[in-house]
Amino acid sequence: MTLQEVVSQIKPADQAAMAAARAHWDTVAHPLNSLGLLEDAIVRIAGASGTADVDIAKRAVVAMCADNGVVAEGVTQSGQDVTAIIAENMGRGTSSVCRMGRVAGADVVPVDIGVAVPVMAGKILQRNIRRGTADLAVEPAMTREECERAILVGVEVVKDLVDQGYRLLATGEMGIGNTTTSAAVASVLLGREAEEVTGRGAGLSTDGLRRKVDAIRRGIAVNCPDPSDPVDTVSKVGGLDIAGLMGVFLGGALYHVPVLIDGFISSVSALAAARLCPAALDYMLASHASNEPAGKMVLEALGLEPFLYARMCLGEGTGAVAVIPLLDMALAMYREMSSFSDINIDAYEHLT
Protein backbone atom coordinates (compact mmCIF):
# COMPACT_ATOMS: atom_id res chain seq x y z
CA MET A 1 0.00 0.00 0.00
CA THR A 2 1.33 3.45 -0.87
CA LEU A 3 1.21 6.43 1.46
CA GLN A 4 -1.40 8.05 -0.76
CA GLU A 5 -3.57 4.93 -0.52
CA VAL A 6 -3.24 4.91 3.28
CA VAL A 7 -4.35 8.52 3.56
CA SER A 8 -7.26 8.06 1.15
CA GLN A 9 -8.66 5.14 3.19
CA ILE A 10 -8.69 6.92 6.57
CA LYS A 11 -12.16 7.95 7.71
CA PRO A 12 -13.27 10.13 10.64
CA ALA A 13 -14.10 8.50 13.97
CA ASP A 14 -17.49 6.81 14.46
CA GLN A 15 -19.84 9.53 15.67
CA ALA A 16 -22.59 7.06 16.60
CA ALA A 17 -20.23 5.15 18.89
CA MET A 18 -19.16 8.42 20.50
CA ALA A 19 -22.77 9.46 21.08
CA ALA A 20 -23.54 6.06 22.62
CA ALA A 21 -20.55 6.30 24.92
CA ARG A 22 -21.52 9.80 26.02
CA ALA A 23 -25.09 8.63 26.64
CA HIS A 24 -23.78 5.75 28.73
CA TRP A 25 -21.68 8.12 30.85
CA ASP A 26 -24.87 10.06 31.57
CA THR A 27 -26.42 6.93 33.12
CA VAL A 28 -23.44 6.24 35.39
CA ALA A 29 -24.20 7.24 38.97
CA HIS A 30 -21.92 10.25 39.27
CA PRO A 31 -22.21 13.99 38.67
CA LEU A 32 -22.37 14.63 34.94
CA ASN A 33 -18.98 15.16 33.29
CA SER A 34 -17.26 15.05 36.68
CA LEU A 35 -14.34 13.00 35.37
CA GLY A 36 -13.64 15.70 32.80
CA LEU A 37 -10.96 14.72 30.31
CA LEU A 38 -11.15 11.09 31.37
CA GLU A 39 -14.76 10.87 30.26
CA ASP A 40 -13.86 12.61 27.01
CA ALA A 41 -11.04 10.11 26.49
CA ILE A 42 -13.36 7.10 26.78
CA VAL A 43 -15.73 8.75 24.32
CA ARG A 44 -12.88 9.38 21.87
CA ILE A 45 -11.67 5.80 22.26
CA ALA A 46 -15.20 4.60 21.49
CA GLY A 47 -15.21 6.72 18.35
CA ALA A 48 -11.80 5.45 17.30
CA SER A 49 -12.63 1.80 17.85
CA GLY A 50 -16.15 2.07 16.44
CA THR A 51 -17.98 0.74 19.50
CA ALA A 52 -19.20 2.04 22.86
CA ASP A 53 -18.10 -1.29 24.36
CA VAL A 54 -14.62 0.04 25.02
CA ASP A 55 -11.78 -2.46 25.47
CA ILE A 56 -8.16 -1.38 25.98
CA ALA A 57 -6.99 -4.44 27.89
CA LYS A 58 -4.17 -5.23 25.47
CA ARG A 59 -1.90 -2.24 24.91
CA ALA A 60 1.58 -1.52 23.61
CA VAL A 61 4.09 1.28 23.27
CA VAL A 62 5.64 1.55 19.81
CA ALA A 63 9.10 3.11 20.27
CA MET A 64 10.76 4.27 17.05
CA CYS A 65 14.56 4.33 17.41
CA ALA A 66 16.78 6.32 15.03
CA ASP A 67 19.91 8.44 14.88
CA ASN A 68 20.19 11.99 13.59
CA GLY A 69 23.14 13.40 11.64
CA VAL A 70 22.58 16.84 13.14
CA VAL A 71 24.47 15.71 16.25
CA ALA A 72 27.59 16.67 14.27
CA GLU A 73 26.64 20.29 14.99
CA GLY A 74 27.25 19.90 18.73
CA VAL A 75 23.55 20.08 19.61
CA THR A 76 23.56 17.27 22.18
CA GLN A 77 25.28 16.42 25.42
CA SER A 78 25.47 12.71 24.53
CA GLY A 79 26.90 10.94 21.51
CA GLN A 80 25.03 8.79 19.01
CA ASP A 81 26.19 5.64 20.76
CA VAL A 82 23.56 6.29 23.45
CA THR A 83 20.75 5.67 20.95
CA ALA A 84 21.93 2.11 20.38
CA ILE A 85 22.49 1.48 24.09
CA ILE A 86 18.98 2.55 25.08
CA ALA A 87 17.41 0.78 22.11
CA GLU A 88 19.15 -2.42 23.20
CA ASN A 89 17.85 -1.87 26.73
CA MET A 90 14.34 -1.52 25.34
CA GLY A 91 14.83 -4.79 23.53
CA ARG A 92 15.89 -6.42 26.79
CA GLY A 93 13.03 -4.85 28.74
CA THR A 94 15.26 -2.79 31.03
CA SER A 95 14.77 0.82 29.86
CA SER A 96 12.68 3.46 31.64
CA VAL A 97 9.56 2.90 29.54
CA CYS A 98 9.84 -0.86 30.03
CA ARG A 99 9.86 -0.46 33.81
CA MET A 100 6.86 1.89 33.69
CA GLY A 101 5.15 -0.24 31.07
CA ARG A 102 5.14 -3.25 33.36
CA VAL A 103 3.27 -1.22 35.98
CA ALA A 104 0.76 -0.02 33.36
CA GLY A 105 0.37 -3.43 31.72
CA ALA A 106 1.77 -2.16 28.42
CA ASP A 107 4.14 -4.12 26.21
CA VAL A 108 7.04 -2.19 24.68
CA VAL A 109 7.73 -2.69 20.97
CA PRO A 110 11.05 -1.07 20.00
CA VAL A 111 11.63 -0.56 16.28
CA ASP A 112 15.04 0.05 14.72
CA ILE A 113 13.97 2.39 11.95
CA GLY A 114 17.25 4.27 11.62
CA VAL A 115 19.81 3.51 14.34
CA ALA A 116 23.37 4.21 13.17
CA VAL A 117 24.67 0.77 14.17
CA PRO A 118 22.86 -2.58 14.25
CA VAL A 119 20.91 -3.25 17.46
CA MET A 120 20.07 -6.88 17.93
CA ALA A 121 18.28 -7.43 21.26
CA GLY A 122 15.54 -10.00 20.73
CA LYS A 123 12.44 -7.82 20.90
CA ILE A 124 13.66 -5.11 18.51
CA LEU A 125 11.81 -5.05 15.20
CA GLN A 126 14.34 -4.74 12.39
CA ARG A 127 12.96 -2.08 10.04
CA ASN A 128 16.04 0.08 9.42
CA ILE A 129 15.61 2.47 6.48
CA ARG A 130 19.15 3.88 6.66
CA ARG A 131 21.88 4.04 9.30
CA GLY A 132 21.00 7.46 10.63
CA THR A 133 20.01 10.60 8.77
CA ALA A 134 22.27 13.22 7.22
CA ASP A 135 23.11 16.50 8.95
CA LEU A 136 20.03 18.64 8.32
CA ALA A 137 22.07 21.80 8.85
CA VAL A 138 23.88 21.21 5.56
CA GLU A 139 21.62 18.96 3.46
CA PRO A 140 18.26 17.16 3.59
CA ALA A 141 18.04 14.70 6.46
CA MET A 142 16.77 12.03 4.07
CA THR A 143 15.10 11.66 0.70
CA ARG A 144 11.36 11.94 0.32
CA GLU A 145 11.26 8.28 -0.70
CA GLU A 146 13.04 7.27 2.51
CA CYS A 147 10.63 9.38 4.54
CA GLU A 148 7.61 7.77 2.93
CA ARG A 149 9.08 4.31 3.49
CA ALA A 150 9.57 5.14 7.17
CA ILE A 151 5.97 6.34 7.47
CA LEU A 152 4.77 3.09 5.94
CA VAL A 153 6.86 1.13 8.46
CA GLY A 154 4.79 2.76 11.20
CA VAL A 155 1.55 1.87 9.43
CA GLU A 156 2.67 -1.75 9.00
CA VAL A 157 3.72 -2.09 12.65
CA VAL A 158 0.26 -0.92 13.72
CA LYS A 159 -1.41 -3.45 11.42
CA ASP A 160 0.67 -6.26 12.88
CA LEU A 161 -0.18 -5.22 16.44
CA VAL A 162 -3.89 -4.87 15.71
CA ASP A 163 -3.83 -8.34 14.16
CA GLN A 164 -2.33 -9.56 17.46
CA GLY A 165 -5.25 -8.07 19.40
CA TYR A 166 -3.82 -4.79 20.66
CA ARG A 167 -6.54 -2.18 21.17
CA LEU A 168 -4.58 0.81 22.55
CA LEU A 169 -1.23 2.03 21.31
CA ALA A 170 1.15 4.62 22.71
CA THR A 171 4.00 6.34 20.92
CA GLY A 172 7.60 6.47 22.06
CA GLU A 173 11.03 7.07 20.59
CA MET A 174 14.74 6.98 21.17
CA GLY A 175 17.22 9.04 19.21
CA ILE A 176 19.98 11.36 20.33
CA GLY A 177 19.40 14.71 18.64
CA ASN A 178 15.68 14.27 18.12
CA THR A 179 14.63 17.34 20.08
CA THR A 180 16.61 19.27 17.46
CA THR A 181 14.83 17.61 14.55
CA SER A 182 11.47 17.98 16.28
CA ALA A 183 12.07 21.66 16.96
CA ALA A 184 13.00 22.14 13.32
CA VAL A 185 9.79 20.48 12.14
CA ALA A 186 7.76 22.45 14.70
CA SER A 187 9.35 25.70 13.56
CA VAL A 188 8.28 25.02 9.98
CA LEU A 189 4.78 23.63 10.64
CA LEU A 190 3.89 26.22 13.29
CA GLY A 191 5.50 29.15 11.50
CA ARG A 192 7.56 30.01 14.60
CA GLU A 193 11.13 31.21 14.91
CA ALA A 194 13.66 28.56 15.90
CA GLU A 195 14.41 30.13 19.28
CA GLU A 196 10.71 30.03 20.21
CA VAL A 197 10.41 26.26 19.83
CA THR A 198 13.87 25.06 20.86
CA GLY A 199 14.79 23.90 24.34
CA ARG A 200 17.77 22.39 26.09
CA GLY A 201 16.73 18.79 25.45
CA ALA A 202 18.73 16.46 27.69
CA GLY A 203 20.56 19.18 29.58
CA LEU A 204 22.32 21.38 27.03
CA SER A 205 24.46 24.29 28.17
CA THR A 206 23.65 27.82 27.07
CA ASP A 207 26.31 27.59 24.37
CA GLY A 208 24.89 24.27 23.27
CA LEU A 209 21.43 25.79 23.03
CA ARG A 210 22.81 28.55 20.79
CA ARG A 211 24.37 25.94 18.51
CA LYS A 212 21.10 24.05 18.42
CA VAL A 213 19.07 27.12 17.41
CA ASP A 214 21.69 28.04 14.81
CA ALA A 215 21.66 24.53 13.32
CA ILE A 216 17.88 24.66 12.98
CA ARG A 217 17.98 28.08 11.35
CA ARG A 218 20.63 26.95 8.88
CA GLY A 219 18.77 23.74 8.15
CA ILE A 220 15.58 25.56 7.30
CA ALA A 221 17.45 28.12 5.19
CA VAL A 222 19.43 25.46 3.28
CA ASN A 223 16.61 22.99 2.71
CA CYS A 224 13.60 25.31 2.27
CA PRO A 225 11.03 22.82 3.63
CA ASP A 226 7.47 23.41 2.45
CA PRO A 227 5.18 24.08 5.46
CA SER A 228 2.17 22.96 3.43
CA ASP A 229 3.78 19.57 2.80
CA PRO A 230 4.56 17.68 6.04
CA VAL A 231 6.35 14.87 4.23
CA ASP A 232 8.67 17.38 2.56
CA THR A 233 9.27 19.05 5.93
CA VAL A 234 10.03 15.84 7.81
CA SER A 235 12.26 14.50 5.05
CA LYS A 236 14.33 17.68 4.96
CA VAL A 237 14.65 18.69 8.63
CA GLY A 238 13.11 15.81 10.59
CA GLY A 239 14.16 12.30 11.49
CA LEU A 240 13.29 8.70 10.76
CA ASP A 241 11.75 8.29 14.21
CA ILE A 242 9.40 11.21 13.50
CA ALA A 243 8.46 9.70 10.13
CA GLY A 244 7.87 6.30 11.70
CA LEU A 245 5.64 7.80 14.38
CA MET A 246 3.68 9.65 11.71
CA GLY A 247 2.95 6.19 10.36
CA VAL A 248 1.84 4.94 13.78
CA PHE A 249 -0.71 7.75 13.99
CA LEU A 250 -1.89 7.15 10.44
CA GLY A 251 -2.00 3.40 11.08
CA GLY A 252 -4.07 3.92 14.22
CA ALA A 253 -6.60 5.86 12.16
CA LEU A 254 -6.55 3.34 9.31
CA TYR A 255 -7.04 0.32 11.58
CA HIS A 256 -9.35 1.99 14.11
CA VAL A 257 -7.21 1.90 17.21
CA PRO A 258 -6.62 4.93 19.47
CA VAL A 259 -3.04 6.19 19.82
CA LEU A 260 -1.65 8.03 22.83
CA ILE A 261 0.74 10.86 22.03
CA ASP A 262 3.80 10.96 24.29
CA GLY A 263 5.91 14.11 24.54
CA PHE A 264 7.47 16.65 22.20
CA ILE A 265 8.84 14.32 19.54
CA SER A 266 5.61 12.31 19.44
CA SER A 267 3.41 15.42 19.38
CA VAL A 268 5.39 16.88 16.47
CA SER A 269 4.93 13.57 14.66
CA ALA A 270 1.20 13.73 15.44
CA LEU A 271 1.02 17.26 14.07
CA ALA A 272 2.73 16.21 10.85
CA ALA A 273 0.35 13.24 10.51
CA ALA A 274 -2.69 15.43 11.13
CA ARG A 275 -1.50 17.98 8.57
CA LEU A 276 -1.14 15.16 6.05
CA CYS A 277 -4.50 13.58 6.95
CA PRO A 278 -6.79 15.70 9.17
CA ALA A 279 -9.13 12.77 9.88
CA ALA A 280 -6.28 10.99 11.69
CA LEU A 281 -6.61 13.52 14.52
CA ASP A 282 -9.81 11.77 15.66
CA TYR A 283 -7.72 8.78 16.73
CA MET A 284 -5.17 10.69 18.84
CA LEU A 285 -5.13 11.28 22.60
CA ALA A 286 -2.69 13.67 24.27
CA SER A 287 -1.04 12.24 27.39
CA HIS A 288 1.08 15.05 28.83
CA ALA A 289 2.55 18.41 27.90
CA SER A 290 6.29 18.05 27.47
CA ASN A 291 8.60 20.39 29.33
CA GLU A 292 10.14 21.42 26.00
CA PRO A 293 9.21 25.03 25.04
CA ALA A 294 7.00 23.99 22.12
CA GLY A 295 5.35 21.08 23.95
CA LYS A 296 2.16 23.00 24.71
CA MET A 297 2.28 24.91 21.40
CA VAL A 298 2.07 21.72 19.36
CA LEU A 299 -0.80 20.29 21.40
CA GLU A 300 -2.67 23.58 21.08
CA ALA A 301 -2.16 23.44 17.32
CA LEU A 302 -3.69 19.95 17.40
CA GLY A 303 -6.57 21.16 19.57
CA LEU A 304 -5.81 18.50 22.18
CA GLU A 305 -5.64 18.88 25.94
CA PRO A 306 -3.24 16.67 27.92
CA PHE A 307 -4.07 14.79 31.09
CA LEU A 308 -0.80 15.65 32.84
CA TYR A 309 1.42 18.67 33.33
CA ALA A 310 4.24 16.86 35.06
CA ARG A 311 7.31 18.66 33.61
CA MET A 312 8.34 15.37 31.99
CA CYS A 313 10.81 15.28 29.11
CA LEU A 314 12.30 11.79 29.33
CA GLY A 315 10.81 10.46 26.11
CA GLU A 316 10.72 6.76 25.22
CA GLY A 317 6.92 6.84 25.66
CA THR A 318 7.08 7.31 29.43
CA GLY A 319 4.54 10.13 29.53
CA ALA A 320 2.04 8.17 27.45
CA VAL A 321 2.47 5.10 29.65
CA ALA A 322 1.97 7.23 32.77
CA VAL A 323 -1.62 8.05 31.82
CA ILE A 324 -2.72 4.50 30.95
CA PRO A 325 -3.66 3.72 34.59
CA LEU A 326 -5.85 6.85 34.54
CA LEU A 327 -7.67 5.46 31.51
CA ASP A 328 -8.07 2.13 33.29
CA MET A 329 -9.66 3.85 36.28
CA ALA A 330 -12.01 5.82 34.07
CA LEU A 331 -12.95 2.67 32.19
CA ALA A 332 -13.64 0.85 35.47
CA MET A 333 -16.23 3.50 36.30
CA TYR A 334 -17.64 3.49 32.78
CA ARG A 335 -18.11 -0.28 32.72
CA GLU A 336 -18.70 -1.24 36.34
CA MET A 337 -20.46 1.58 38.18
CA SER A 338 -24.14 1.33 39.05
CA SER A 339 -26.59 3.43 37.09
CA PHE A 340 -28.83 6.02 38.71
CA SER A 341 -31.79 3.70 38.33
CA ASP A 342 -29.90 0.82 39.96
CA ILE A 343 -29.55 2.80 43.19
CA ASN A 344 -32.88 4.61 42.98
CA ILE A 345 -31.46 8.10 42.54
CA ASP A 346 -32.89 10.60 40.09
CA ALA A 347 -30.45 11.05 37.23
CA TYR A 348 -28.68 14.36 36.79
CA GLU A 349 -29.90 16.48 33.94
CA HIS A 350 -27.91 18.62 31.54
CA LEU A 351 -28.91 22.16 32.44
CA THR A 352 -28.40 25.28 30.37
Q: Specify burial of residue 194 (Cβ count, 10 A radius: 0-12, 13-18, 19+).
A: buried
Cα–Cα distance, 121 to 103 (Å, whole number): 22
Q: Could you give the residue ranges of the DSSP H alpha helices within 230-347?
A: 230-237, 240-254, 264-276, 295-302, 318-336
The backbone torsions φ and ψ at residue 253, rounded to the nearest 5 degrees and listed phi first, read -70, -40
39 given a catalytic annotation: no
Cα–Cα distance, 222 to 102 (Å, whole number): 44
Choose the catalytic residue: 39, 305, 316, 349. Answer: 316
Length of the chain as a residue count: 352
In the DSSP assignment, the letter for residue 110 is: E
Tell me the CB-side half-sphere exposure of residue 347, using CA atoms within 13 A: 14
Cα–Cα distance, 264 to 292 (Å, whole number): 7
Catalytic residues: 316
